[in-house]
């Protein structure tokens, strides 16, 4: 009977008062941190202190803030679902994350730290960083709790891994060189490396944290703690995905509609295994909210830095007073935060918001990374060439990702799922749903092959197209730029040594400012754009 399914859904969806207590306590703790740094510890209340923590932050809290800034509620809910549905191939992206750590630490990070700037486009708050610390522990605590309790209920981790291995969810890397395969070793290593490099190397949210540290060495230590933490968190999420399958391997909740959306799998599992332990479901929800709030707080603080540096200061003739700067930054945070809250009512109506978000990211991430890479590694590319390449990259990625998403949305391209079963269900549901759920793969040769390329390659393609078009424009249209007219501080170390020689390297030991770079050639934007 349909009522049986509805009764289960209603029973699993209830919170007890201890759950509300734990959840509200976490929110209050985050609010108190903001109140302390905003109203109690007010000295010195300068722009640098607000946006960069005075550049005296400690490595460990910054590293945790980096983790919290990138890991969102979408990650916590989406990665277990990814493993449940498609297996662990995605997890091999950890290799790309590790490779990113080397490139970021030795090429990109020293350049930005040398420039002593606020924004990658020319932050953060101590309250944001310490709030992220609390929220990171909440995220890890929630996942560890779920993993331990679920494993105990099943009788041990060997049960989890046996069921995963028997259905192909636990599998070796796929070394297929076909770029249209959704996840392969190569797409996770190369595509994942480029995606995570963009996230760390040219993202305002992340760079703002790295630059709040006093030295490049401290930034590198924070970077490697971030790499380890992200890999650990992805491993925990992936294990939870295998755990969910081992629990529901004979009664798939997606097929029976016990979970009406894929992102409901982990919350359903949590309420199922923790319903007899008051307070623990509230801890998990607090962890999910922590992931979302940490990303939001980071973006709000970074947005205040970008708007101040790029949309206010360039259009003001007289220097702004510190009081005016503080008022502008806080107003931006409040205004953008209110807008984000209002958009919740729009987002809840959009069933494909995650897919749409990933598509929009692919349009801009690749060209952005390509443009900054030109500025740091290829200074002889003329600014108009870099601008042309960036524009062409955005146009190309718009055409590719939006068209590909259209074919996926219409069901023309379907990705294969791992096998599911409903043979062991102990409750009644609509059996017609079993026939409506297919795990077959269907692609048509009428679709242009480029539209079938895995989304993991999108950022790589965007960066490659941007760099290639920029190089061609320099050769065929605008000519080469004289790299000696560009400030050495805007280049990666090995490029600087090649162009300016070892003698000039000795002249660039002290941090420089944006104004210093403008006097000595071009700023980072001008060299890249």
- What is the per-residue pLDDT across 338-391, written as a single tens digit (0 to 9) for each? 887 776 665 554 444 545 566 678 788 899 999 999 989 998 898 899 999 999
Predicted local confidence at residue 439, as pLDDT: 42
Instruction: Phi first, then psi: give them for residue 428, nearest 5 degrees.
Output: -85, 140
So where are the chain's domains? 2-349, 352-412+447-529
Residue 47 in this model has a pLDDT that exceeds 60: no
Q: Which residues contact 29 (CB under 8 A, 6 or more apart)?
A: 134
Please tell me the predicted confidence (pLDDT) of residue 18. 81
Which tokens go with 528?
A: 């890249």
Rounded Cα–Cα distance for residues 225 and 219 (Å)? 10
Rounded Cα distance between 122 and 525, Å, is 7
Q: Which residue's entry shows tokens 């076909």? A: 178
For position 82, what pLDDT does the model report?
A: 87
Q: For residues 306-326, give the mean pLDDT.
A: 79
The answer, yes or no, to whether residue 226 has pLDDT greater than 60, is: yes
Cα distance between residue 30 and residue 39, in whole Å: 14
pLDDT score at 120: 46
Taking residues 479-490, report their average pLDDT: 83
Q: Read out DSSP for 110-162?
A: HHHHHHT-S-TT----HHHHHHHHHHHHHHHHHHHHHHHHHHHHHT-HHHHHH
- CB-based contacts of 453, cutoff 8 Å, min separation 6: 179, 180, 400, 404, 461
Q: With cut-offs at 50, 70 and 90, classify the pLDDT of residue 75.
A: confident
Query: What pLDDT is stored for residue 371 in this prediction?
Result: 93
pLDDT in tens, 130-188: 777 777 787 788 889 889 999 999 989 999 999 999 988 999 999 999 998 888 999 99
Q: Which residues, 6 or more positions from 164, have their beta carbon under 8 angstroms from its beta carbon?
A: 88, 170, 242, 245, 246
CA atoms within a 13 Å half-sphere pointing along the CA-CB vector of 373: 24
For Cα atoms 261, 266, 272, give the angle at the middle one, nearest 5 degrees. Answer: 105
Q: What is the pLDDT of residues 416-455, one digit of tens each?
A: 888 888 888 887 777 666 655 444 444 556 788 888 888 8
The percent of residues in the chain predicted with pLDDT above 70, rounded, is 76
449 within 8 A of 179, measured Cβ to Cβ: no
Of how many residues is the chain composed?
529
- For residues 339 and 354, give the distance between their C-alpha atoms in angstroms, rounded to a whole number: 19
| Mean pLDDT for the stretch of residues 220-232 | 93
375-394 in b/e form (b: 16+ CB < 10 A) is bbbbbbbbbbbbbbbbebbb
* Per-chain mean pLDDT for the chain: 78
The span from the CA of 219 to the CA of 62, in Å, is: 9
Nearest-angstrom CA–CA distance, 97 and 151? 28
pLDDT at 113: 83
More confident residue, 366 or 275: 366
* Residue pair 512/114 in contact by the 8 Å Cβ criterion: yes
d(CA 106, CA 103): 6
Q: CA 162 to CA 168: how far, in whole Å?
A: 10
Which tokens in the block code for residue 431?
Answer: 């059996």
170-to-173, 254, 262 alpha-carbon distances in Å: 10, 20, 20
Quick one: pLDDT at residue 173?
Answer: 92
Output 273-276 pairs: Cβ under 8 A, ≥24 positions apart.
273/146, 273/149, 273/150, 273/153, 273/247, 274/145, 274/146, 274/149, 275/11, 275/12
Predicted pLDDT of residue 444 = 58
HSE-CB at 482 with a 13 A cutoff on CA atoms is 3
Quote the pLDDT of residue 190: 95
| Nearest Cα residue to 179 out of 407, 470, 404 | 404
Q: What is the pLDDT of residue 395?
A: 95
Q: What is the DSSP letter of 480?
A: B
Rounded mean pLDDT of 469-483? 89
- How far is Cα of residue 339 from the mean position of the Cα atoms in its chain? 21
> Domain 2-349 is of which CATH architecture?
Up-down Bundle (1.20)
Dist CA 210 CA 55 (whole Å): 9
Q: How confident is the model at residue 236 (pLDDT cuts 50, 70, 90)?
A: very high
At which residue do the structure tokens 């007899």 appear?
276
More confident site: 26 or 223: 223
Residue 108 pLDDT greater than 80, yes or no: yes
């Amino acid at each position: 009977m349909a009522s049986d399914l509805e009764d289960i859904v209603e029973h699993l969806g209830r919170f007890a008062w201890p759950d509300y207590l734990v959840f509200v306590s976490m929110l209050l703790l985050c609010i108190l941190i903001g109140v302390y740094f905003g109203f109690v510890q007010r000295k010195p209340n300068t722009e640098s202190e607000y946006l960069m923590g005075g550049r005296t932050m400690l490595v460990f809290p910054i590293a945790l803030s980096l983790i919290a800034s990138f890991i969102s509620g979408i990650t916590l809910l989406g990665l277990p679902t990814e493993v449940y549905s498609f297996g662990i191939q995605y997890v091999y992206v950890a290799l790309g994350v590790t490779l990113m750590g080397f490139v970021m630490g030795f090429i990109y990070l020293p350049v930005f730290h040398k420039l002593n700037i606020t924004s990658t486009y020319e932050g953060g708050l101590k309250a944001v960083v310490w709030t992220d610390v609390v929220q990171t522990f909440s995220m890890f605590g929630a996942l560890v709790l779920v993993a331990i309790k679920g494993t105990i209920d099943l009788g041990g981790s060997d049960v989890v891994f046996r069921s995963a291995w028997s259905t192909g969810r636990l599998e070796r890397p796929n070394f297929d060189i076909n770029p249209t395969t959704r996840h392969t070793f190569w797409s996770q290593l190369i595509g994942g490396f480029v995606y995570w490099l963009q996230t760390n190397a040219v993202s305002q949210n992340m760079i703002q944290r790295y630059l709040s540290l006093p030295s490049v060495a401290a930034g590198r230590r924070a970077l490697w703690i971030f790499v380890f933490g992200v890999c650990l968190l992805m491993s925990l999420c992936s294990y939870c995905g295998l755990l969910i399958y081992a629990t529901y391997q004979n009664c798939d909740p997606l097929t029976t509609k016990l979970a009406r959306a894929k992102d409901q799998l982990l919350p359903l599992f949590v309420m199922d295994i923790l319903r007899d332990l008051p307070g623990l479901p509230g801890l998990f929800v607090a962890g999910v909210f922590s992931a979302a709030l940490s990303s939001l707080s980071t973006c709000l603080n970074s947005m205040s830095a970008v708007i101040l540096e790029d949309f206010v200061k360039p259009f003001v003739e007289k220097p702004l007073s510190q009081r005016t700067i503080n008022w502008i930054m806080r107003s931006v945070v409040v205004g953008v935060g209110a807008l984000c809250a209002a958009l919740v009512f729009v987002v809840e109506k959009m069933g494909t918001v995650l897919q749409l978000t990933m598509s929009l990211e692919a349009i801009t991430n690749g060209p952005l990374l390509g443009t900054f890479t030109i500025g740091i590694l290829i200074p002889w590319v003329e600014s108009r060439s870099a601008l042309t390449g960036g524009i062409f990259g955005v146009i190309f990625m718009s055409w590719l990702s939006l068209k590909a998403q259209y074919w996926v949305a219409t069901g023309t391209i379907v990705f294969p799922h791992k096998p599911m079963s409903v043979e062991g269900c102990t409750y009644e549901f609509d059996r017609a749903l079993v026939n409506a759920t297919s795990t077959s793969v269907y692609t048509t040769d009428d679709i242009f092959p480029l539209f079938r390329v895995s989304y993991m390659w999108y950022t790589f393609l965007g960066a490659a197209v941007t760099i290639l078009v920029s190089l061609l424009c320099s050769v065929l249209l605008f000519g080469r730029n004289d790299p000696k007219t560009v400030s050495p501080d805007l280049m990666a170390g090995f490029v600087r040594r090649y162009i300016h020689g070892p003698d000039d390297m000795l002249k660039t030991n002290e941090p420089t400012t944006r104004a210093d770079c403008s006097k000595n050639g071009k700023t980072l934007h001008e060299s890249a754009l």
